[in-house]
Chain A
């Protein structure tokens, strides 16, 4: 029996998610709920209805009773409390604007699907992102094994039980750790969780001797200051030469998908503020670091 998991997207030619030509699968569900999350449909572990507003002609056909079991299920579970009315029909929109985020799939089936492109991933491989892939450990590990011998990367928040994190380090070729804040109280405020677990896992990663990537999404006025970046650099210092740091400029498109989920994007920071990040704390310590637009 192959383990079953839940995903919300598959993307090809993801040039930023590891070396070479890659495909990325996004696991659904995340223990964190970062205020700036640009994949909000990746937060909930439950399937969700997504309605794209752009292109909608308000014909109302998606609101008519349809009798499809999959529409009814989504409507019952989510439609009402998300402001999407009694739910929507997934199969009626002339513009194709109504969809479901969240597909249940076995590790075996998912691997078979992705391996169809295996001979096209020049110098690359597969990346597992999310959501938080480590939140579906059993599914993740079986899936990784089924992708072998391809190169596999995992992009994680680091928020996972140490044994799961350790297992992930052992099984994948590259860990990409998204590091939000070094201060636990600030981390709690921005993501809904403290960071002790994450830092413990990070320390293990640093001590492991493996090569890895760290990504810091720069949130204006929150984590882009000198203090936090210096603290990040200090923590990574023992891994200099093995770690590659990417500071990701805040992108004002982060909120694009909230409306589709019937939610409102409410950043606590000034989106328009210039995010000017200083790479010197990293470079002083011999850590390869770059700012990404």
Chain B
């Protein structure tokens, strides 16, 4: 980190930049309501008002400017109006367009001036065609562009006032005109990204930064305008910009802001994308150790080992980056869902891990979640109870078939509940999405791809329950169906031995046992088959996935005890992971189990997460082995993987909430242990040692 970037870093980490924030704007919703203003108009008016209210603030020494000073956006709708809208529509999350990947590159290259001319030309055609909706949309886009360019001019003037002619020159050029240099392209990105948040969209992802920015950097390096060190400095300053306003961004938790950046992977033309800029991004993230932007690394069979090495070095920092996704599985999986091959090759991740197409996808990959354990429990209560009453024991296969059938019924039911989707219009976002200007229609109404994705939560809880039922009820017959149901109804009260057997002695997903892994494969296949053939009202398909988002807590809270020995309300594993109390043999068995299913069929996304003690990353030799482990996952057909070097905070949390960290493994010299099972003294020691490690 250079001294200049260090000063900016210190300022932002100390949150000193927040002192420039001023009071919220006056409310606007009641006026809008009185005028019965259409939503597009409200959006244009509000965004313009926010941009006008923004103060130009230039932090000392910065070369990439723009800082939010208006912390809160006024409401667009009066409470009564919003209730009315909700009553008649399916509203996803906050109602805004979110979780998509804009095409920044085209506008960075062309400039907002040229884009404005394009919108204006289209507006003339809309006027000629008496397309009132199109006119309103296009006029809104123009109003927002103008308000943004006005703010850019005020930033330029402020730069001049401070004697920062270099910055003023940059702002004189971009984003009004096309960027010519790497620095100009970064500044242009910053302004476009800034505008999206001011419009109210959220989880605004960064996309394939190393691909669309590379031509600028390549030209600068070739002309001698920049060297590698200079480029790294700019990337670091640029990365810092993601951490300035992020506390203002909506999310379930702080940090859940969707600033995902994707590196490497196959390019649309089939060539390998990992380049010098990818490398500089990994280096910048490693040095800054900040939670944004979130680094994703696309890999595949063609990826050189060195890329895995660089990724592992970053994992060792304990940030939980990078998240890996496997092109060999993801791209064909997306093609199978109907994505064009060139688009599939260009995939990125949404806020967390959902695979989406930049510029073209208005997919809502997190629109709903299916709880595998809930479906399992429903079937157990229905089918096993019937079997008991009739004194007929069906086979396990018959029971499992009914579970798979019920999964399909559940998929249809969830899909059927999503009707009349409505999103708040987003004219500026529309400008950054393919074909919206030409169509003269807002992105909230759809784009090239309009697919929905369903999370699948609690897979391991469901599979472990199935394995326990098969083993104890059907194979061994050591446990009656009625007895099991009664124990579940009583949350295992008075059934300690049964509880211990189900929790710690029963077969578990993640132990590399093919009979159990095969259950997981079949459950996921049933999920994929359950959504296959379903269409949403926008003509899109439904994508099945292995992610959970926060549903591993939300679904689990309301769910009674399950046959795997999970007590009522106990959490599921997050995303695509083993059950949290499962005692497993180790990472190799976990990888073996979790690469057994046909993951190309459940390609909405959702990573296998594995946590390792930071000491596993000590030394080059060990890091090489971790890199090999990631390669192994990729070679075996895993789709997405996240490794964590466990850090001190996590260990402290484990002390406070041991139940939530039961599967947290620590390496203790020549042996490994479950952290929560160590005596306090030893835990404290590991925590103390963390200070040196991380």
The answer to whether A92 and B631 have CB atoms under 8 Å apart is no
Min CB–CB distance A54 → chain B (angstroms): 5
Min CB–CB distance A14 → chain B (angstroms): 9
- Contact string, A116-141, partner B, CB cutoff 8 A, digits 1/0? 11001111100001000000000000
Cβ of B82 under 8 Å from chain A: no
Which one of B500, B504, B512, B685 lies within 8 Å of A253 (CB-CB)?
A: B685
Which one of A21, A96, A256, A259 lies within 8 Å of B583 (CB-CB)?
A: A96
A107 to B154, CA, bound (A): 78
Cβ of A191 under 8 Å from chain B: no
A272 to B469, CA, bound (A): 51
Which one of B503, B587, B615, B658 lies within 8 Å of A55 (CB-CB)?
A: B658
A94 to B561, CA, bound (A): 14
A99 to B27, CA, bound (A): 64
A201 to B558, CA, bound (A): 63
Q: Which of B585, B587, B636 has the most CB of A within 10 A?
A: B585
Of the candidate stretches B62-70, B541-549, B664-672, the one touching chain A is B664-672
The answer to whether A256 and B500 have CB atoms under 8 Å apart is no
The answer to whether B615 and A54 have CB atoms under 8 Å apart is no
Q: Which of A21, A92, A256 has the most CB of B within 10 A?
A: A256
The interface size of chain A toward B, counting residues with CB under 8 Å, comes to: 41
Cβ of A82 under 8 Å from chain B: no
- Contact string, B658-694, partner A, CB cutoff 8 A, digits 1/0? 1000000000111111001111101101100000000
Cβ of A20 under 8 Å from chain B: yes
Which one of A11, A21, A129 lies within 8 Å of B672 (CB-CB)?
A: A11
The answer to whether A256 and B625 have CB atoms under 8 Å apart is no
The answer to whether B588 and A251 have CB atoms under 8 Å apart is no
Which one of B500, B587, B626, B683 lies within 8 Å of A94 (CB-CB)?
A: B500
Residues on B with beta carbons closer than 8 Å to the beta carbon of A16: 622, 670
Residues on A with beta carbons closer than 8 Å to the beta carbon of B505: 91
The answer to whether A21 and B629 have CB atoms under 8 Å apart is yes
Residues on B with beta carbons closer than 8 Å to the beta carbon of A248: 669
Min CB–CB distance A91 → chain B (angstroms): 6
The answer to whether A54 and B586 have CB atoms under 8 Å apart is no
Q: Which of B616, B618, B631, B682 has the most CB of A within 10 A?
A: B682
The answer to whether B686 and A92 have CB atoms under 8 Å apart is no
Residues on B with beta carbons closer than 8 Å to the beta carbon of A292: 619
Residues on A with beta carbons closer than 8 Å to the beta carbon of B658: 54-55
The answer to whether B500 and A15 have CB atoms under 8 Å apart is no
- Contact string, A254-266, partner B, CB cutoff 8 A, digits 1/0? 1010010000000
* Given A117-B588, A120-B588; A9-B671 close (CB under 8 Å): yes
Chain B 480-523 residues near chain A, CB threshold 8 A: 496-497, 499-501, 503-505, 512
Which one of A39, A55, A120, A252 lies within 8 Å of B632 (CB-CB)?
A: A120
A11 to B669, CA, bound (A): 13
* Given A38-B670, A96-B583, A256-B682; A23-B496 close (CB under 8 Å): no
Can you name the residue of chain A whose Cβ is closest to the Cβ of B514? A116
A122 to B629, CA, bound (A): 8
The answer to whether B679 and A53 have CB atoms under 8 Å apart is yes
Cβ of B591 under 8 Å from chain A: yes
Main secondary structure on chain A at its contact with chain B? loop
* Given A122-B628, A253-B668, A253-B669; A117-B682 close (CB under 8 Å): no
Cβ of B621 under 8 Å from chain A: yes
Main secondary structure on chain B at its contact with chain A? helix
Chain B 570-603 residues near chain A, CB threshold 8 A: 581, 583, 585-589, 591-592
Cβ of A189 under 8 Å from chain B: no
The answer to whether A97 and B677 have CB atoms under 8 Å apart is yes
The answer to whether A94 and B496 have CB atoms under 8 Å apart is yes
Cβ of A63 under 8 Å from chain B: no
- Contact string, B605-630, partner A, CB cutoff 8 A, digits 1/0? 00000000001101101100110110
A129 to B671, CA, bound (A): 11
Min CB–CB distance B645 → chain A (angstroms): 13
Residues on B with beta carbons closer than 8 Å to the beta carbon of A171: none
Min CB–CB distance A84 → chain B (angstroms): 16
Which one of B499, B501, B618, B628 lies within 8 Å of A21 (CB-CB)?
A: B628
Which one of A20, A38, A52, A121 lies within 8 Å of B669 (CB-CB)?
A: A38
The answer to whether A54 and B588 have CB atoms under 8 Å apart is no
- Contact string, A42-54, partner B, CB cutoff 8 A, digits 1/0? 0000000000111
The answer to whether B671 and A15 have CB atoms under 8 Å apart is no
Cβ of A185 under 8 Å from chain B: no
* Given A10-B585, A13-B587, A21-B628; A92-B677 close (CB under 8 Å): no
Which one of B497, B625, B668, B679 lies within 8 Å of A251 (CB-CB)?
A: B668
Cβ of A203 under 8 Å from chain B: no
Can you name the residue of chain A whose Cβ is closest to the Cβ of B688? A252
Residues on A with beta carbons closer than 8 Å to the beta carbon of B588: 12-13, 21, 23, 117, 120-121
* Given A15-B616, A53-B679, A122-B632; A256-B589 close (CB under 8 Å): no
The interface size of chain B toward A, counting residues with CB under 8 Å, comes to: 47
Residues on B with beta carbons closer than 8 Å to the beta carbon of A117: 512, 588-589, 592
Can you name the residue of chain A whose Cβ is closest to the Cβ of B504? A96
The answer to whether A293 and B671 have CB atoms under 8 Å apart is no
* Given A12-B586, A13-B625; A54-B631 close (CB under 8 Å): no
Cβ of A172 under 8 Å from chain B: no
A232 to B305, CA, bound (A): 37
Min CB–CB distance B545 → chain A (angstroms): 26
Cβ of A80 under 8 Å from chain B: no
Cβ of A93 under 8 Å from chain B: yes
Min CB–CB distance A111 → chain B (angstroms): 16
Q: Which of A9, A20, A94, A254 has the most CB of B within 10 A?
A: A94
Residues on A with beta carbons closer than 8 Å to the beta carbon of B512: 116-117
Cβ of A61 under 8 Å from chain B: yes
The answer to whether A54 and B670 have CB atoms under 8 Å apart is no
The answer to whether B678 and A293 have CB atoms under 8 Å apart is no
Residues on B with beta carbons closer than 8 Å to the beta carbon of A256: 668, 673, 678-679, 682
A124 to B686, CA, bound (A): 29
A56 to B304, CA, bound (A): 48
A21 to B592, CA, bound (A): 14
The answer to whether A52 and B677 have CB atoms under 8 Å apart is yes
Min CB–CB distance A138 → chain B (angstroms): 26
The answer to whether A252 and B503 have CB atoms under 8 Å apart is no
A28 to B359, CA, bound (A): 60
A39 to B669, CA, bound (A): 10
Residues on B with beta carbons closer than 8 Å to the beta carbon of A53: 679
A11 to B585, CA, bound (A): 7
Can you name the residue of chain B whose Cβ is closest to the Cβ of A117? B588
Chain A 1-49 residues near chain B, CB threshold 8 A: 9-13, 15-16, 20-21, 23, 38-39
* Given A21-B629, A21-B632, A38-B670; A253-B682 close (CB under 8 Å): yes
The answer to whether B496 and A61 have CB atoms under 8 Å apart is yes
A79 to B401, CA, bound (A): 47
A131 to B679, CA, bound (A): 23
Chain A 89-103 residues near chain B, CB threshold 8 A: 91-94, 96-97
Known: A54-B678, A91-B501. 19 other contacts (CB 8 A): A10-B585, A11-B672, A13-B588, A38-B668, A39-B670, A39-B671, A92-B496, A92-B500, A93-B500, A94-B499, A96-B500, A96-B581, A97-B677, A117-B589, A124-B625, A129-B670, A256-B678, A292-B619, A293-B618
23 contacts between A and B (CB under 8 A): A12-B588, A12-B589, A13-B587, A13-B625, A15-B622, A21-B629, A21-B632, A23-B586, A39-B670, A54-B677, A55-B658, A61-B496, A96-B500, A96-B583, A116-B512, A117-B512, A117-B588, A120-B632, A129-B670, A252-B685, A253-B669, A256-B679, A256-B682
A interface vs B, CB < 8 Å? 9-13, 15-16, 20-21, 23, 38-39, 52-55, 61, 66, 91-94, 96-97, 116-117, 120-124, 129, 248, 251-254, 256, 259, 292-293
B interface vs A, CB < 8 Å? 496-497, 499-501, 503-505, 512, 581, 583, 585-589, 591-592, 615-616, 618-619, 621-622, 625-626, 628-629, 631-632, 636, 658, 668-673, 676-680, 682-683, 685-686
Closest 5 CB pairs of A and B: A12-B586, A251-B669, A96-B504, A12-B588, A253-B668
